[in-house]
Amino acid sequence: MTQYDLIVVGAGPAGMSMATVCAKSGMAVLLLDEQPRPGGQIYRAVTKSRLAESNILKQDYWRGSELAAALKCDNLTYIPYARVWYARPTGDIWFSVADQPEGVSAKHLAIAVGARERPIAVPGWTLPGVFSVGAAQILLKSAGLVADYPVLAGSGPLLYLVASQYLAAGKKIKALLDTTPLSNYHAAIKALPASLFHSQLYKGLRLLRDIRLAGVPVHNGVSDLQIGGSAFVQEVSWKQSGKTHHLDCETVLIHEGLVPNVEFALALGCEWSWSPERVAWEINVSAEGRTSLSSVYAVGDCARIVGADASELQGRLAGLDLVRRATGNQQSELEQSLMRDLNKHMRLRRFLDRLYLPADRNIVMNEPSTVVCRCENVTIETLIPLIESSQGNLDSVKSHSRCGMGPCQGRMCSHSVAALARARGVPACAPSRQRLPLTPITLKELAAVEDSK
């Protein structure tokens, strides 16, 4: 196996910044990423965007091109299309490129695999014509494709960001259904004073203004979202102020915030905790990204949702921390300055966490026939008695229903099952046990590993 000082998995803002800091200090760094180009989800396709001549994605998006350009430095090896499927805290990693496996090893491992959208199990969410807001943004960034006259439904900053990007692309939006509970606004006010002078707050307010000025019908306090249709989306319905509303449409983009991609860290044995403030499993880390395992870092949104700017800061802090551990130096003024900047971002994050705390009824609607696990076609009707009899033990529910045994390994259903459990008095389920391989692999890949020994 080729030996490195550091292997970073994930080329988003956190992974790119940590890899660059360590490589420039003289460490041998390997950066692995599943995508064809660096940038992660937030800066997807930034080095080869079809929208380079437009103003659709705004200035914040192009910050990613600077991070990607910095990867071209000595001591840093960047491998795209790399699907990591085996890892150990000792630093041994196996990954595949074009189904060809390769083993590498390092003294330290950094997980920077980012976040994913929180799955939403509402009636009709599996119909053709329903996309996550994040998927719609991926199509926009990577291919310049946008849906015609969609309905956007859900909660969170990304919902409004994508709405503004659609408007900038010249597309009309049929309606925006905001499921943020109205009670959240009162709770968020307490955290607002500490965020008043943060530039991102005012960028968000400008997004809201632009959407209103564009004439998009915005409905606040929406609940009981349902998507109707036989073979494809034909309508969306919701409740607002006790009344049921219907709207004909062909495309619905849904979103209820982001959750960390914790599976990699859990498979390694990193300590985790449940966050009721963010309704998500999180990896326990220090400000520099150190996990409970001395050789493993978890930086950026894969440990806790912090946003792109804070993820970049965490990546730089993690890199400087690792360099300091290797050299025995004291904490530098640069680290202290980065820590102050990170704390400013986290004050805004506390406001956003309170404002966009999702209600369980919006994550999964208690309709018996609603599919929760689409890999194995498991419905709420099947899951509820298993949840009640197991007291919310997700591994037990999984073994009795096959919910979470499909190709996604629970990534698309575990949060919905946990929401059903919370509604039945189980406040914090443990996540399902993570097993290797981290992603589905072929027997051909396993055979190639055996042949290489």
Confidence at residue 452, expressed as pLDDT on a 0 to 100 scale: 63
pLDDT of 277 over the 90 cut? yes
Q: Are 318 and 110 in contact (CB under 8 A)?
A: yes
If you classify domain 366-453 with CATH, what class do you get?
mainly alpha
Q: Other CB atoms closer than 10 Å to residue 444's CB: what's the count?
A: 11
**What's the token pair of residue 37?**
């180009």
> DSSP characters for 378-410?
EEHHHHHHHHHHHTT-HHHHHHHH-TT-STTTT
Does 119-256 match 2-116+259-329 at the fold level? Answer: yes
CA dist 20 and 67 (Å) reads 9
Confidence at residue 1, expressed as pLDDT on a 0 to 100 scale: 84
pLDDT of 229 over the 90 cut? yes
Nearest to 314 by CA among 349, 340, 289: 289
Q: What mean pLDDT is reported for the chain?
A: 94
If you classify domain 119-256 with CATH, what class do you get?
alpha beta
Q: How do the domains of the chain map onto residue ranges?
A: 2-116+259-329, 119-256, 366-453
Please state the rounded mean pLDDT for residues 262-277.
97
Q: Are 296 and 41 in contact (CB under 8 A)?
A: no
pLDDT of 424 over the 90 cut? no
Instruction: Give pLDDT tens digits for 336-357.
Output: 999 999 999 999 999 999 999 9
Confidence class for position 451, pLDDT limits 50, 70, 90: low
pLDDT of 54 over the 80 cut? no
Q: Other CB atoms closer than 10 Å to residue 173's CB: what's the count?
A: 22
CA dist 247 and 238 (Å) reads 9
pLDDT of 267 over the 90 cut? yes
Confidence class for position 427, pLDDT limits 50, 70, 90: confident
Q: For residue 132, what are the β-bridge partners?
A: 254
Element spanning 67, H or E: helix 58-69
Instruction: Give pLDDT tens digits for 287-310.
Output: 999 999 999 999 999 999 999 999
pLDDT of 53 over the 70 cut? no
Task: Pick the most confident of 57-71, 191-205, 254-268.
Answer: 254-268
Q: Does domain 2-116+259-329 have CATH number 3.50.50.60?
A: yes
> DSSP characters for 139-165?
HHHHH----SSPEEEEESHHHHHHHHH
pLDDT of 91 over the 70 cut? yes
Confidence at residue 161, expressed as pLDDT on a 0 to 100 scale: 96
pTM: predicted TM-score of the whole model, two decimal places? 0.95
Nearest to 317 by CA among 292, 289, 296, 291: 289
Percent with pLDDT over 70 in the chain: 99
